[in-house]
Amino acid sequence: MAPTDRGLGPLCFRGLSEAERGMLIVETIAKIRRLHFTEGKGIKTICRDLKLSKSEA
């Protein structure tokens, strides 16, 4: 679990508005889906490339 700043979310989201945080998540989901379905990459490879845990993907 990522460290938080006074319960406001992960430290990497500091300085971002609520809309910007949401866009990061939507963009990440789009990247995962594109890599898996169009490029045929496996989940393990995608997680390694995007530096995500398997539970996040």
Q: What is residue 5's predicted lDDT score, i.e. its pLDDT?
A: 43
Please check whether residue 3 lies inside any domain of the structure: no
> Model-level pTM?
0.56
Question: How many domains would you assign to the chain?
Answer: 1
Please check whether residue 45 lies inside any domain of the structure: yes
Q: What is residue 33's predicted lDDT score, i.e. its pLDDT?
A: 93
Q: What is residue 4's predicted lDDT score, i.e. its pLDDT?
A: 45
CA distance 27 to 33: 10
Domain that holds residue 23: 16-50
Please check whether residue 10 lies inside any domain of the structure: no
Please check whether residue 9 lies inside any domain of the structure: no
Please check whether residue 4 lies inside any domain of the structure: no
pLDDT tens-digit profile of 1-57? 444 444 445 555 566 565 555 555 888 889 999 999 999 999 999 989 988 887 777
